Amino acid sequence: MEALKGEAEMPVNLTQEDKHEMIDKAKSDIVLCLGDKVLRDVAREATATSMWAKLELLYMTKSLDHRQLLKQQLYLFKMVESKSITEQMMEFIKILDDLANVEVNMEDEDKDLLILCSLPKSFEHFKDIILYGKKGTTTLEEVQAALRTKESTKLKDLKFDESGEGLNVARERSGHRGKGKGKSRSKSKSKGFDKSKL
């Protein structure tokens, strides 16, 4: 952190060479932690101090407008059927992290409720079980783990049905398979009858 404050704030017992080494290392550490999009925003900054200041300006501003925008993103967040639930959960967590960075902390109970209410219709039953079927409070981590399990189960069921196995099992249970055999027997009999007539 001393490197981010600039040379003037560094310990006086450090040599000029040590100070430059610390600043370069701090800059490298920041670069390693940034994604490509964010890195483009700060690539022109010469020092770790100016790079950090730019990051704070762009992504950690504590203005009322920025806080309101993040809160709006959180409260209006809705998951869709066409995307992975796990990926969408990560989007939700990122909004929470961004809010925490601007000192907006939410109760765990509210986080749970918001993520459950953002789920698509196919998760209605799951939502009811989590909300009303469990005694005591549920942590956000527990809800995430349960959602991952639920999604992986849904994917397995879908693959099972697409392979045709699920369809065959359903036919056997409903007795369609037996009826099909009966029809084929009657067809073969009728074909035999036709041949004898010729």
User: Tens digit of pLDDT per residue, the chain (198 long)?
Assistant: 555 555 556 667 778 788 778 878 888 888 888 778 778 888 888 777 888 888 877 776 667 788 899 999 999 999 999 999 999 999 999 999 989 888 888 898 899 999 999 999 989 998 888 888 766 667 888 888 988 888 888 777 666 555 555 444 444 544 544 444 444 444 444 445 454 454
Q: What is the predicted pLDDT for the residue at 1?
A: 52
Cβ neighbour number for residue 96 with a 10 Å cutoff:
18
| Rounded CA Rg of the chain | 31
Nearest alpha carbon to residue 29 among 15, 39, 41: 39
Owner of token pair 């005694």: 135
Q: What is the predicted pLDDT for the residue at 40?
A: 83
Q: What is the predicted pLDDT for the residue at 160?
A: 58
* DSSP letter, residue 118: T
Q: What is the predicted pLDDT for the residue at 159?
A: 62
> Could you tell me the two tokens for 73?
């993103």
Report how far apart, in Å, the C-alpha atoms of 166 and of each of 27, 120, 158 are: 56, 25, 9
Q: Which residues make Cβ contacts (< 8 Å) with residue 38, sequence separation at least 6?
A: 55, 58, 59
Nearest alpha carbon to residue 19 among 27, 32, 28, 10: 10
Measured distance CA(22)–CA(14) in Å, rounded: 10
Parse the chain into domains and list their residue ranges. Answer: 2-59, 64-162
This prediction's pTM: 0.52
φ, ψ (nearest 5 deg) of residue 175: 85, 10
Q: 78's torsion region: left (phi>0), alpha (psi -120 to 50) or beta? A: beta
